[in-house]
Structures are given as C-alpha cells and as structure tokens.
Amino acid sequence: MKSLSAAEAIVAEVLRTAERHDAQAVKLVKVSLGELSGINIRSFASWFRTLSIGSAAENAQLVIDKEPGLIRCICGYEGQPDNVFGENDKLTIECGKCKSTFVTPMAGTDYCVKELSFGKA
C-alpha cells in the first residue's frame, strides 16, 4: 500500500512540475527511495508506470536511487542496519551490532523526486 501511495504522490508532483514548465513530455524522473521507507522498489516502479499512462510522464525513463538507512540502537550503535525486512508499516529493522530491533531510524525513511527532465512529445 505504501508503494502505491508513494507512486501517486510522485506522479502528481511530476505532472504538476511539468505543467508549471509547460512541458509536453517528461523524459526523465529520478527518484530517491529510502531503505527504511517501507517502499518496495519493484512495486513502486510498477505503480509509477500504471499511474503515468496517458499523461506527460507515460514514456519517462524512471531511475530509482536507494538511499541507505541509518539507525540508532539502544546499545549505542549508530550506523547502517544489519537487516531490513518487511514492507509498509510492518518493517523490521535489526541493529548492525547487537541485532536488536529496538532501533530508531535516523535517515533513509523518506522518498522524493531528485531530478526531472522535460522535452517535446
């Protein structure tokens, strides 16, 4: 579900930006998806394609960069998690040192458009 919501938000942002620039077509959409965002990359890409049909973004090249996650654990460790599994609101994150799941995400929880390129249809 989170992949769909994220794709809807990104497609809407892309199309609003294209309209503001009077662009007939979107050629490139570069997106950053955080490792701890709970967004499945394949599912996001599929939803992006589906939601773009019939719009200026229909034939855009989609490039997805995965932003690494950073955590803080109750053991004092700060850094990248060891394991991240699950999806949406059921994401499980393990400490890179003690394997505890009592961690606080510090980075890699968001998604955003990093770059857009426009052209003619």
**pLDDT tens by residue, 55-72:** 999 999 999 999 999 999
**Model confidence pLDDT, tens digit, residues 97-117:** 999 999 999 999 999 999 999
118: exposed, middle or buried (C-beta count within 10 Å: 0-12, 13-18, 19+)?
middle
> pLDDT tens digits, residue range 28-40?
999 999 999 989 9
- Band (pLDDT 50/70/90 cuts) for residue 118 is very high
* Whole-number Cα distances in Å, 28 to 31, 60, 81: 10, 5, 31
Which pLDDT does position 120 carry in this prediction? 78
CATH number of the structural domain 2-119: 3.30.2320.80
Q: pTM (2 decimals)?
A: 0.88
Pair of tokens at residue 34: 């955080």
Name residue 113's beta-bridge partners.
31
Does residue 4 register a pLDDT over 90?
Answer: yes
- Euclidean distance between CA atoms 97 and 13, whole angstroms: 38
Does residue 12 contact residue 44 with C-beta atoms inside 8 Å? no
The predicted pLDDT at position 113 comes to: 97
70: buried, middle or exposed (CB in 10 Å: 19+, 13-18, 0-12)? buried
Confidence band, pLDDT 50/70/90 cuts, at residue 121:
low
pLDDT at 87: 60
* Segments making up each domain of the chain, as ranges: 2-119
54 to 25, 51, 59, 121: CA distances (angstroms): 11, 8, 9, 12
Dihedral sign from CA coordinates of 70, 75, 77, 82? negative
